Structure 1
Amino acid sequence: MVFNTILIMLYAILLTFTRIWLLMLASIGIAIVLGILSARVKIAGAIIIPITDVLEAVPVVSFFPIILVFFIIRVGGSAGVELAVDFLIITALIWNLILGVYQAVSHIPKENLEMVKVYRLSFWSRLKHLYLPSSYHQIVANIMPSFASALFYITLSEVIPIGTRNYGVFGVGSLALQFASENQFGDIGILIIILILAIALNYYLIINPLIEGSKKYVFDLSVKAPEEQRRQRDPFINALGGRITQVVSARLTTFNSLNFGRRTGVSASPRRRFRISDTWLNVISGVILLFFTGLAIYLVAVSGFAAAFDEYLTNAAFLLKLTLATAYDLLRIVIVFLVSLATMVPLAIYSARKGGRRFCFLS
């Protein structure tokens, strides 16, 4: 009996982790598109990034009206429930990834961008040889926080309570809710232990190798070349040759990062290639943003916003209750933040100093 229960737990964890990783890949694809668009097209960045910042703070449960109307009612059946669950998990994954790609592309060195313009690279060549390598480190760095966020909301994502009925799919969240409803607290403890082991395996077998492999894609502008260090020690060389060395080093770094030295890489031919102009990028991004804005308005309209407005937002008693509830939530957040600040910051400082002394001793 216990063995069968453990097998069910392993199967649930396998399904949940597979679902999360597949949706992680989809989220990375969406994040690459929106992040690069926000970094390279000003009008898109002015719209997408503020919206992303706001939605990042919105809890998963706030998206229930959308998934209720669009997926469960409009699509219906098991496919609608699966799409609803996938949508909720994506809302826990995607925001960190979008901001990470945006930050990475926004901080590409100016010399690299100038070299791309000089050689008139097409949009797809820029994407392959500059934007994606530049974003890789930030994408990998945000995978673990996004993965943790998805697991944090996994019960609300895999089991969607609407009224007196629950919609859901089989996984860790639904299994944990089943154990809790049946007062099987021992099984919940075993499930938590197995889940912790599965998370550790995911980190050491998947995430940690990705982190190690992403280090070579970082633009490390703080490391000085030996020539630059010698110039700093010699004022005469620094005065006469500083500007020349700076320009040459920047150009060499640009050529190395874009792989122009390989014959199989991007051609340095000055011929004009097919490329998407900034004007068309603005038009395309505007159309996409208008589409999603219209979709959001439609979903809000069909979900009965007018009736809800009359029933709740014009009710003084409800507004007072909502204000007090919001104040309590904000107070809890402030208390947790202060406790975290008082405990984690000293611990981080202690760990950094201890690591620094150990490094000095080993040196």
Structure 2
Amino acid sequence: MTAVSHTGPARRSSRAWAVAGVALLLLGWQLSAMVMGPLLMASPLETARAIPRLLASAHFWNDAGDSLLRIAIGVSGGCAIGFVLGVLAAHSPRLRGLLEPIRWLLMSIPPVVVVVLAMLWFGLGSAMVIFMTVVMMVPGMYVNTVKGMQQVDRELIEMTRVYRFGWWHRLRHLYLPAMTAPLTAALLIATCGGVRLVVMAEVLGAESGAGFALANARSTFDSAQLYAWIVLILLLVAALEFLLLQPLQRRLGQWREGSRA
């Protein structure tokens, strides 16, 4: 009972400190804008005024739609490939050894190098951005999947063999519930990282998207629009985390408990 009674105050205290952290960031932003000047950094108020103008423009929705489509395809494709390869590699030491150099290479190479190579192979546009995002998403999901499957209790695995579980039932009722925590954490990291990768690739070599709009605002020294785009990208990441990923994590947690029962 004591632990339950302290949950409410602790949560309120955490939220209060989060609000204080946001206020501290806004204060630092305002002071930096005052020191650098409006040409280099728009103030929070100027950025807030630029956001409605940006939302009312036609090109915003075209650029935002292109970026969202690239994020959805790149992140989902990369995570799906990484998960499937991780499941297969966890059951096959030979495949795991074969994929290890590729995994190390993809996790070691800087993303900007992949962007440059993708620009040479695919040119400018969505194909380049999606390819780069998929390639950079695969290793993280692959590693988390392999590690999660290797940590499953061996006695439970033997039990599924005794009861002659098929591969699908073994995956659904044993491996997936046991890997809920690492997979949801990997999905959260992949989604946030995917947004950053897509925007970076669009800045370097795309003809549309949020990154392309950022590059245009930088070239015209429109700092208010530049920071308005940055704020909207941060809000997108926050929306993906709090409205999609965290509810999904809670749902998977409930499913995990149900599978255990």
* Partner Cα distance (1:50, 1:215) in 2: 33
Which protein is bigger by CA-based radius of gyration? Answer: 1
Q: TM-score, normalization: structure 2? A: 0.69
**Does the CA-based 8 Å contact 1:36-1:131 persist in structure 2?**
no
> Which residues in structure 2 correspond to 1:281-300 (within 5 Å)?
none
Amino acid at match of 2:181: H
Matched, 1:5 2:54: yes
Q: TM-score, normalization: structure 1? A: 0.51
Distance 1:121 1:95, change over 3 A: same
- Residues paired across the two proteins, number: 210
Correspondence for 1:207 among 224, 245, 254: 245
Matched, 1:197 2:197: no
**Does the CA-based 8 Å contact 2:90-2:146 persist in structure 1?**
yes
Match of residue 104 from structure 2: 53
Match of residue 177 from structure 1: 215
Matched, 1:30 2:98: no
Correspondence for 2:201 among 146, 153, 157: 157
Correspondence for 2:206 among 168, 171, 182: 168
**Does the CA-based 8 Å contact 2:64-2:209 persist in structure 1?**
yes
Correspondence for 1:144 among 188, 196, 204: 188
CA RMSD of aligned residues (A): 2.8
Match of residue 122 from structure 1: 166
Matched, 1:100 2:141: no
Query: 2:164 is paired with a residue of what secondary structure?
Result: coil
- Structure 1 stretch 95-104 or stretch 136-145: which is displaced more? 136-145
Could you tell me how far 1:10 is from its partner in structure 2?
5.2
Match of residue 82 from structure 1: 126
Larger RCO (CA under 8 A, 6+ residues apart): 2
Distance 1:26 1:134, change over 3 A: farther
> Which residues in structure 2 correspond to 1:193-272 (within 5 Å)?
193-216=231-254, 257=260
Match of residue 3 from structure 2: none
Question: Which structure 1 residue ranges, 5 or more long, are not aligned?
Answer: 73-79, 161-166, 220-255, 260-363
Query: 1:178 is paired with a residue of what secondary structure?
Result: helix
Percent identity, aligned pairs only?
Answer: 20
Structure number with the higher helix fraction is 2
Query: 2:179 is paired with a residue of what secondary structure?
Result: helix
Match of residue 17 from structure 1: 68
* Partner Cα distance (1:154, 1:196) in 2: 13
Distance 1:49 1:133, change over 3 A: farther
Query: 1:153 is paired with a residue of what secondary structure?
Result: helix
Question: Which structure 2 residue ranges, 5 or more long, are not aligned?
Answer: 1-48
Q: Deviations over 1:220-277 (max 9, x none)?
A: xxxxxxxxxxxxxxxxxxxxxxxxxxxxxxxxxxxx64x7xxxxxxxxxxxxxxxxxx
Distance 1:124 1:211, change over 3 A: closer
**Does the CA-based 8 Å contact 2:203-2:214 persist in structure 1?**
no
Distance 1:198 1:156, change over 3 A: closer
Match of residue 319 from structure 1: none
